Amino acid sequence: MLNALSIVGYFGMVGGFAALLLTRNLFSTSPFVVSVQAVALLLLLWARAAFGRRSFHVAANPTEGGLVTGGPYRYVRHPIYTALCLFTLPGVIAHQSWKTNLCGALVLGCAVIRISCEEILIAARYPEYRQYASTTWRMIPYIF
């Protein structure tokens, strides 16, 4: 059940992001949007580098090799999802409409679904995850 729900979350995030991209509502010439998206891209690359050579799964299956707690994972448990949402949000703000808001909400909502599934599955696989989770934030320090 959790794997299926995590797949729905994955495709929802990708779908919302792709819809913004295809409708040309993701990028902007605004220096603010460009700056925030550049930071989001750097966070994504840093998180991917910290994750190492582990493979990505469409279903939220925990990877082999132990819990990753270095790099940006030292501060937030889901920096890749954080980066995706951080990249999406300024595009939505720059191109305000009910369609872009819906796409942005789809990305964020599906990221939260995916995170929820992933955390349950990771905690079942790695008992030390509960301790790690008690000392880090999910996505946004001091907020969530």
pLDDT tens for the chain, 144 residues long, are 888 999 999 999 999 999 999 999 999 999 999 999 999 999 999 999 998 877 777 888 787 778 899 999 999 999 999 999 999 999 999 999 999 999 999 999 999 999 999 999 999 999 999 999 999 999 988 888
* C-alpha dist (Å) from residue 74 to 3, 6, 61, 68, 107: 25, 23, 21, 9, 24
The answer to whether residue 142 sits within a structural domain is no
Contacts of 108 (CB under 8 A, 6+ apart): 85, 88, 89
The number of distinct structural domains making up the chain is 1
Residue 44's domain comprises: 2-53+65-135
In a domain, 120, yes or no: yes
State the sign of the Cα–Cα–Cα–Cα dihedral 23, 29, 30, 34.
positive
pTM: predicted TM-score of the whole model, two decimal places: 0.92
Residue 102 lies in a domain: yes
Say which residue the tokens 């989770």 belong to.
Answer: 133
Residue 140 counted as domain residue: no
Looking at the domain assignment, is residue 18 inside a domain? yes
**Is 9 within a domain?**
yes
Tokens 């190492």 correspond to: 52
User: What are residue 76's DSSP bridge partners?
Assistant: 137
Asked whether residue 122 is assigned to any structural domain, the reply reads: yes
